[in-house]
Structure 1
Amino acid sequence: MKNLSKFVDELSIPPILKPRWKDAASSYYEVKMTDFKHSFHRELKDTTVWGYEGGYPGPTIEVESGEMVYIKWINDLPAKHLLPVDFTVHGAHKDVPEVRTVVHVHGACVEWESDGYPEAWFTKDFEKVGPYFRRQVYRYDNCQRACTLWYHDHTLGITRLNVYAGLAGFYLIRDQRERLLNLPSGVYEVPLMIQDKTFHQDGSLSYPKQPKKPVPELETSIVPEFFGNMLLVNGKVYPFLKVEPRKYRFRLLNAANSRFFRLKLDSGQRMYLIATERGFMQDPIGVHEILLSPAERAEVIIDFTNLEGKHIIMKNDAQAAFPAGEPVDEDTGTVMQFQVVLPLASVDTSVIPAFLMPVTLLNEQSSSRSRYLTLDDRMDSYGREWMLLDNKSWDAPISENPKLGSTEIWYLINLTKDSHPIHIHLIDFQVLDRRDFDVDRYKKEKTIHYTGPAHPPEPQERGWKDTVRADPKQVTRIIIKFGPFTGLYVWHCHMLEHEDYEMMRPFIVIR
């Protein structure tokens, strides 16, 4: 279904979740996953979705840096999946329950038992659990600076379905330094979760049961990527937000399955970039566009001062797949609208600081090891696309085993035609550079022959990150210090169709 009216539904702001109890150093939450009806657009019938605490997106969890947070994630979903399950995909065979969940706080500094390992899943009332299930109540140490994180499902083999069904929400960490910056706050700080969807005529979620080239032997089959034909923000299709003529802080999150977003304002004005995924940048940067691959976040300040009465549209022009796929159309190129129609409630005393936070660059000389890791595109026995990391499947023996406290440089060698957002659990890292190389020669000789100079990280990458875009025909270098915990984690492409089949690998931090 297409051709829905634009800017007729107001943007929804997810509520802040209150803890069940809280003291000076810790807090306890219970978060239940259920199915319910949700209104995506006034011209659509209400849609059955899955969500946390009855909301789409889930409620925002807001905590303090260093606060010990305990969360009991409760699965109260029906026994049959809302979307077509492919039982040929790893982890989703018919010998496991069809509906299972495990929650990952994306970007969290956390012990591995609370990280949401893909095989630590659980069913309704914890009746059945996966082989790596360790605890019902997760512990989050929040041992990091103020930043924008998010929580979402991470179940092996059905992550793409569970997240598409609605299992996602914001997780914000605050600290005193952030408060001293005098940024726009309160109602002037707005989270924006951007996704794409396709709907059936009856308003239900549409997710393909077969790829473009069906495999007759299979009842259902995974698709290489999913791209919806319309965009939504905070669970509303093409919403509008009424704003005052003043500065606003927006937390941008790409929570799409596979779609990239290159965001800009049709007014041509700058957005002031202040933070990457894992915290503030050193200095704000004025940009006209921001490219976000799936799971990447960015914080920006948009100044609506002296724009009374204006209607400003946030646009997207990223191809699907990125960077050389289909161009956007009127529907996939429109994100939302800002209507500068509210009177100024009080004098705007917030600022865009000249300096935000020192960002100490990791020294390449401190690296104890370099790892050369390929991004591979193969075909499975059914002729379907099969994405791999370092040419290894999920079940292959663990090959990445960094030592606690060590620093490594990872060379992400993209041999595929698409860009891939690579996410590494537990840690944050810095992007060193990208460099063109001869792909054909690498495939023949297994050696890197560079064909051009190194390109420095882009403006939205000049800070601490947990997800990086690895572009085709390029080697992307990142530098990582591993810690503060040991244990079993994963790294993967965050295009969820790739992650599910099966562009994900475990790694273990050892002493």
Structure 2
Amino acid sequence: MKGVPTRVTWTNHLPPHHILPWDRSLAAARVGNAAGIPTVAHLHGGVQQSTSDGHSMAWFTSGFATTGPHFSSPAYEYPNQQLPGNLWYHDHAMGLTRVNILAGLLGAYRVADPAAEAPLGLPSGAEFDRNLVLFDRDFRSDGALFMNATGNNPDVHPQWQPEYFGTAVIANGKAWPFLRVRRRRYRFRILNASNARFFRLSLSGGLRFVHVGSDSVYLARPVPTEGFLLAPSEIADVVVDFAGSKHDAVTLRSDAPAPYPGDPGEKADTVAVMKFVVGSKLEHDPSTVPATLMPRYPKPDTREAVVTRHIAMYEYTKNGTDEPTHLYLNGAAYTDPVTETPREGTSELWEVINLTDDNHPLHILDHEDNEMMRPMKIVR
């Protein structure tokens, strides 16, 4: 609830050994020869003090037997003073985030403001306002999670893999599930919690999405689309009206190449994400989608920038292959000394130059995902 702080004391009840392959030789949360799995929680999109932000080096193991160099306290406070919107929390331990999130350490989080949101008249309540968390996974024949322990360059490093792609699409913890819906409007807050997979979502039967929010903020006005792209860690807040369905079943599907955007001319297979089983009779629907939503954020003025910085993303590959072994920013590793030191209260223009073969979604910590944070030029 906006204005009502959430106070959490995070505890680690993970087992001594990971259920998935974890290479401790990488630049990661290192516990030496001790047992235990490091973890630390990060509220993605939240605005809070740095001590409650889940720094990747603030990890801790079970019983706090081992802690990272930035660990101070497991007691976190989330002020919830930001505008209403959608966030998510996930593991953030350095070098272990992918493995811990694959194992399930993630969840959806909302900041609600009834006084501002109720007058909009959007679908509400647990039945008609739902979170959908999407990701991809691989499974063994017995149903256990599977992650390949062999790296892309095993003669360089036995386990290093720059990306993870699973063959099964999971929605809210189930593979290719279905949801029974009534013939009326529903609101879906759709999070892509995949490691590297993009979703390009559409609905069968000609149904459309009406976008009312993006990540942690509302849009100024609704935007109807027949389909949209959803990058890893991105949240789309949409309304779907099943009253217009001509069929008793609607499929949510994706046709994004993996990795995205794929090779020129490549046509990706369309895969099912989940199915909606639509009721037979029309329902009374008190909800609506208004013509305007929340006030537009002020546009950034690049003339206020006191400095322009150029940040180049490099992937280093082994000679004779296209498989990367290192990812650096301006030739520096994550563990190298800090080079970019903005002054508090000033504006800067950052031009991020992507020299890799892949798309890399970017996220700035401790801010709301609004237009004020978008004087950022991404060149691929």
Task: Tell me the TM-score normalised to structure 2 length.
Answer: 0.91
Task: Tell me the alpha carbon deviations over residues 300-351 of structure 1, each in whole angstroms, 9 at most, x when there is no partner.
Answer: 0111114365211111111111111575446xx211111112655x621111
Q: Deviations over 1:205-246 (max 9, x none)?
A: 11010124422x75x412121100110100010011111111
Q: Distance in 1 between matches of 2:152 and 2:300?
A: 45
Equivalent position to 1:128, from 62, 66, 71: 66
1:336 to 270, 274, 280: 274
The residue number in structure 2 matching 1:169 is: 107
C-alpha separation in 1, matches of 2:267 and 2:73: 45
Q: Which moved more, 1:267-276 or 1:377-386?
A: 377-386
* Pairing 1:370-389 to 2, within 5 Å after superposition: 370-379=308-317, 384-389=324-329
Equivalence for 2:354? 414
Q: In the alignment, residue 249 of structure 2 is paired with which amino acid?
A: H
Residue of structure 2 in register with 1:140 after alignment: 78
Look up the match of 2:233.
Answer: 295
What's the secondary structure of 2:233's corresponding residue?
Answer: coil
Unaligned residue ranges in structure 2 (runs of 5+): none
Superposed CA deviations along residues 368-405 of structure 1, whole A, max 9, x for unmatched, are: 22221111111379975212223210111112222222
Task: State whether residues 208 and 223 of structure 1, in contact with CA within 8 Å, keep that contact through their aligned partners in structure 2.
Answer: no
Matches within 5 A, 1:142-221: 142-175=80-113, 176-186=115-125, 187-215=127-155, 220-221=158-159
Q: Give SS of 1:267's match.
A: helix
Q: Does residue 66 of structure 1 match 2:3?
A: yes
C-alpha distance in 2, partners of 1:427/1:315?
31
- Is the Cα contact below 8 Å between 1:242 and 1:338 reproduced in 2? yes
Aligned counterpart, 1:480:
none
- Report matched runs for 1:16-415 at 5 Å: 64-93=1-30, 95=32, 97-175=35-113, 176-186=115-125, 187-215=127-155, 220-307=158-245, 309-324=247-262, 328-329=268-269, 333-341=271-279, 343=281, 347-359=284-296, 360-379=298-317, 384-415=324-355
Please say if residues 309 and 339 of structure 1, whose CA atoms lie closer than 8 Å, have aligned partners that are also in contact. Answer: no
Moved over 3 A (4+): 325-330, 379-384, 463-466
Instruction: Report if aligned partners of 2:8, 2:77 keep a CA contact under 8 Å in 1.
Output: yes
Contact 1:259 1:320 in 2 (8 A): yes
Alpha carbons 2:205, 2:247 under 8 Å: kept: no
Tell me, yes or no, if the aligned pair for 1:242 and 1:342 is still in contact at 8 Å: no
AA of the residue aligned to 2:272: T
Deviation track 1:438-467 (CA, whole Å, cap 9, x = no partner) reads xxxxxxxxxxxxxxxxxxxxxxxxx5779x
Measured in 1, the distance between the counterparts of 2:31 and 2:47 equals 34
Shift of 1:108: 0.6
Most deviating of 311-320 and 333-342: 333-342
Q: Hey, what's the Cα distance between the residues in 2 that align with 1:428 and 1:400?
A: 21
CA distance in 2, matches of 1:193, 1:272: 18
Instruction: Please give the alpha-carbon distance, in whole angstroms, between the structure 1 residues aligned to 2:284 and 2:106.
Output: 35
Preserved CA contact (<8 Å) 1:276 1:299: yes
Structure-2 separation of matches of 1:97 and 1:410: 41
Partner Cα distance (2:152, 2:233) in 1: 26
Q: Deviations over 1:148-201 (max 9, x none)?
A: 000000001111100000001001000121122111001100100000001111
In the aligned structure 2, how far is the partner of 1:428 from the partner of 1:173? 12
Contact between 1:293 and 1:469, CA under 8 Å: does it hold in 2?
Answer: no
Distance 2:353 2:42 in 1: 26
Question: How far has the Cα of 1:281 moved from its partner?
Answer: 0.6
**Counterpart code for 1:112:** S
Task: Give the length in aligned residue pairs.
Answer: 371
Percent identity (aligned)? 35
Normalising by structure 1, what TM-score? 0.69
User: Closer, same or farther in 2 for the Cα pair 1:251/1:429, shift >3 Å?
Assistant: closer
Deviation of the 1:290 alpha carbon: 1.3
Q: Tell whether the 8 Å contact from 2:15 to 2:36 is kept in structure 1 after alignment.
A: no
CA distance in 2, matches of 1:266, 1:400: 47
User: What pairs up with 1:426-505 in 2 under 5 angstroms?
Assistant: 426-428=366-368, 430=370, 470=378, 474=379
Measured at CA, do residues 136 and 305 of structure 1 come closer, stay the same or move farther in structure 2, by a change above 3 Å?
same
Q: Deviations over 1:84-141 (max 9, x none)?
A: 1112210244626551110001011010011000010111122221111111210111
Structure 1 distance, partners of 2:59, 2:121, is 41
Counterpart check, 1:424 vs 2:361: no
Alignment check: 8 A CA contact 1:194 1:234 kept: yes
Distance 1:296 1:137 in 2: 27
Deviations 1:39-67 (A, max 9, x none): xxxxxxxxxxxxxxxxxxxxxxxxx1121
Q: Is the 8 A contact 1:266 1:314 kept in 2?
A: yes
**Contact 2:204/2:251, CA 8 A, preserved across alignment:** yes
**Structure 2 residue matching 1:226: 3-state secondary structure:** coil
Matched-pair contact (CA < 8 Å) for 1:376–1:416: yes
Partners of 2:45 and 2:369 within 8 A in 1: no
